């Protein structure tokens, strides 16, 4: 659809707002780093905090933003809560962004 130039005409004002908010959420180096780590494996807050050299509270805040914008979801394994990407679209968007910047 996007290739014929009509894709944007199908978006309503509310859709444009949601899309803008989606890209705003991706506008943080910390959140991109979290997504890149989650592309490698599901992780809990403490593991992400250690890898990012951040407090668990700061990581939780970023994960909540990603979760509320439907980029990550969580699942419980015993007492641990693990975060994962919502679906393959999130990984594809990050990968395409990386490809784009590495080509220029």
Q: Token pair 């784009």 is at which residue?
A: 100
Q: pLDDT digits over 48-77, tens only? A: 999 999 999 999 999 999 999 999 999 999
- Domains of the chain from N-terminus onward: 9-103 (1.10.10.10)
Complete DSSP assignment for 59-88: HHHHHHHHHHTTSEEEEEETTEEEEEESSH
pLDDT of 4: 53
**pTM greater than 0.85:** yes
């Amino acid at each position: 659809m996007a290739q014929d130039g009509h894709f944007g005409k199908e978006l309503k004002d509310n859709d444009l707002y949601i899309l803008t908010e989606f890209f705003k959420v991706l506008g943080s180096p910390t959140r991109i780093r979290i997504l890149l780590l989650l592309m490698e494996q599901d992780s809990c807050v403490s593991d992400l905090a250690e890898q990012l050299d951040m407090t668990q509270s700061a990581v939780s805040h970023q994960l909540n933003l990603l979760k509320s914008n439907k980029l990550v979801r969580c699942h419980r394994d015993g007492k641990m809560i693990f975060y994962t990407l919502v679906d393959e679209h999130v990984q594809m968007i990050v990968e395409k962004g990386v490809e784009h910047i590495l080509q220029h």
